Each structure stands twice: as C-alpha cells, then as structure tokens.
Amino acid sequence: VFPDVGNNAAVISLHSGPVVEGDVKVMFESSSGLPKGYEDVPFYFWFNTSFITDNKLFLPREELDNPHKSKTWNLYKEDFGVTVFFSGSE
C-alpha cells in the first residue's frame, strides 16, 4: 500500500494478481484501526468484469458496502471511492 496524499488516495498494487472473470468480490482489510462493518471489514464491493471499461473500474462511496451508510460519512467523505486498474492476462 502506497499513500498518495496529493490525490487523496491509497495505491495498492498486485503483481501477478489473480485473473478475474464474471462476478468478483473484493474485501479491504486493515490493521490500522479502521472501523469494521458487515463482513468484519472496513469495506468491500462486488463487480462483474463486464463493467470494466478501458481496463479501469471506478466505484464511488455509494457503491461500496459499509461506506455507503451515512453513519460512516465522517470517515468516508463524499469524494471517497475506489478505482481499480486492470492489465491484460499474460
């Protein structure tokens, strides 16, 4: 995990990551004391690979499980979201 403070982001890079196809669930775990919700994680999301456009998928706060709830908005601000970049399978 690499913090990108200038862009209000954290960069997570998976080298030799898994090949994904169809419905995919991603769970974000943290040891930094972030509050946990459903699934006992700070946030998670589902997507279908058909939603990927130009090797990129963006999910705003409202589409992330746990941060979409108003009681978490003091931590997950309005501009919070997740962008996932994909590379072709080798």
Instruction: Render pLDDT for 43-61 as a digit per residue (tens, 0 to 9).
Output: 999 999 999 999 999 999 9
Read off the CATH number of the domain in which 68 is found.
2.60.40.1110
Tell whether 27 is covered by a domain.
Answer: yes
Is residue 11's pLDDT more than 90?
no
In a domain, 90, yes or no: no
Mean pLDDT, the chain, whole residue set:
86
* Token pair in block for residue 90: 């080798």
Question: Closest Cα partner for 81 from 4, 10, 1?
Answer: 10
Split at pLDDT 50, 70, 90, the class of 1 is low
- For residue 67, the enclosing domain spans 2-85
CA distances, 6 to each of 1, 9, 58, 59 (Å): 15, 8, 19, 20
Percent of the chain whose predicted confidence (pLDDT) is above 90: 38
